[in-house]
Copies of this chain bind each other. A is one copy, B any other.
């Protein structure tokens, strides 16, 4: 089939799709599907732990009592009883909500898409942590947003720096459409925004009328430290749109998440959802409802927490053993991810190619920035592999890093490059 044929519509793509970037993580997934690869790349929950008897009991209950409902179209907003379940879950995070402000989405990813669709015209500024969730960057690029990263430290987003950025933008006569933030065990950073900064962030949002998108998929997966209030619970001025997900506490395979928005914004999101996929799967919503309302989720989430804690500890111990001096990494109190940074001049993009040859995978840090940063860093996910495989994976990775560092040394960085190239060529 001729190339001219295939490409005849090329020039007619909407500009936004022409510029789209694919998420670094999703691209890796096909590479790492081989069973011999130890993938520390994707943020995969341990779905193999989902109890079979609970799975069957839920489905048999739906089959016996709600089969026609589960197989029919549902309301665009989602079922009221699922909204009530969400209110129960958020109460666990000390956050009181009005269920009428909940919109069930096809995963929290759709929440990011709907917010961006609603607010972003090409060229509009979106603020985000640096590094930030690569899947959100993919969505922002679909709508041609101009993403500006804000610095982070061990306490998450540096809110003082946000003040400066907002002031600078004001001088330019520009205002950002929103700030996107993952306050708990951030993806990919693994850091948590401190309470003090949260309070200041919400206050600042009120002063500046800054819309804040709080993406909190991991909040209930805290396995160390003390819970910190959600931005939504601190917000008194309706500046926060909250995104939640069942992907991490039940299953990503049911593609069910939610957003909570102030009424005026909410209705726009409902229109957007209606035009995108009509409604989220009623069958999957009923699965969520049976799992949450039966209370089965409590034990499951507790087990997941202790599982992820063990896996995190296995990863941290392996990093201490295998990674070279000068490496640093975050110590997350929940969630799925460690963010590791290697001594210069290691480039994690180059490293990944070698690592996959050695049957271990991670996500290179550059995928979490839009501005070329992150090339010395990597995201390591501990959620989806056994402790043994985590140890083995980090061991292989350590070998690849040492090999690459040895090569750099042999190539003689610090001005000895010419000489070392000769030496390498002559060996």
Q: Is A224 an interface residue (CB 8 A)?
A: no
Closest Cβ of chain B to A217, distance in Å, is 12
Whether a CB of chain B sits under 8 angstroms from the CB of A238 is yes
Which residue, of A20, A75, A238, A253, has the highest number of chain B Cβ atoms within 10 A? A253
Interface mask (A221-256 → B, CB under 8 Å = 1, otherwise 0): 000000000000000011000000001001111110
> Is A71 a contact partner of B252 (Cβ separation < 8 A)?
yes
Say yes or no: A282 contacts B253, CB within 8 Å: yes
Interface residues of A in 36-70 (CB under 8 A from B): 42, 44-45, 47-48, 50, 52, 55-56, 59-60, 63-64, 67-70
Whether A172 is near chain B, meaning CB under 8 Å from some CB there, is: no
Interface centre among A13, A60, A247, A276 (most CB of B within 10 A): A276
A171 within 8 A of B: no
Is residue A107 contacting chain B, with contact meaning CB distance below 8 A? yes
- Output the least CB separation between A330 and chain B (Å): 23
Contacts of A86-101 to chain B: CB distance below 8 A: none
Q: Is the CB of A209 within 8 A of B8?
A: yes
Which one of A195-203, A259-267, A345-353 is at the B interface? A259-267
The answer to whether A139 and B6 touch (CB under 8 A), given A55-B63, A73-B253, A254-B281, is no
A7 to B250, CA, bound (A): 35
How close is A248's CB to chain B, nearest CB, in angstroms?
Answer: 11
> A71 is contacted by which of B30, B254, B274 (Cβ under 8 Å)?
B254
Inter-chain contact A67/B44, CB cutoff 8 Å? no
Contact A276 B109 (CB under 8 A): yes
The residues of B that contact A119 with a CB separation of less than 8 Å are 9, 12-14
A297 to chain B, nearest CB (A): 14
Tell me the smallest distance from the CB of A283 to a CB of chain B, in Å: 5
Give which listed residue, B12, B265, B281, contacts A253 with CB less than 8 A.
B281
Query: Which of A21-29, A158-166, A355-363, A404-412 sits within the interface?
Result: A21-29
Question: Is A184 an interface residue, CB under 8 A from the partner?
Answer: no
Complex contacts, A250 vs chain B, CB 8 Å: 71
* In the complex, A121 has a CB within 8 A of chain B: yes
Q: B residues within 8 A CB of A280?
A: 255
Least CB distance from A207 to B in Å reads 13
Are A9 and B278 interface neighbours, CB within 8 A? no
Specify the main secondary structure of chain A where it touches its partner.
helix
Interface size of A as a range: 35 or more
Complex CA gap A7/B1 in Å reads: 53
**Please, which residues of chain B bring their CB within 8 A of the CB of A287?**
283
Q: What residues on B are CB-neighbors of A45 within 8 Å?
A: 72
6 additional A-B pairs beyond A12-B119, A138-B275, A281-B281, beta carbons within 8 Å, are A9-B264, A20-B272, A44-B72, A47-B72, A59-B63, A251-B283
Once the chains bind, are B6 and A263 in contact (CB under 8 Å)?
Answer: yes
Could you tell me the distance between the alpha carbons of A13 and B119 in the complex, rounded to whole angstroms? 4
A61 to chain B, nearest CB (A): 10
Question: Could you tell me if B14 and A117 are in contact, using CB atoms closer than 8 angstroms?
Answer: yes
Q: A60-B56, A63-B55 are in contact. Are A271 and B68 (CB under 8 A)?
A: no
Q: Does A76 contact B (CB under 8 A)?
A: yes
In-complex Cβ contact of A275 among B1, B7, B67, B142 (8 A):
B142
Q: Tell whether, in the assembled complex, residue A253 and residue B71 are in contact, meaning their CB atoms are under 8 Å apart.
A: yes
Chain A 266-298 residues near chain B, CB threshold 8 A: 268, 271-272, 274-284, 287
Verify if A167 is at the interface (C-beta below 8 Å from B): no
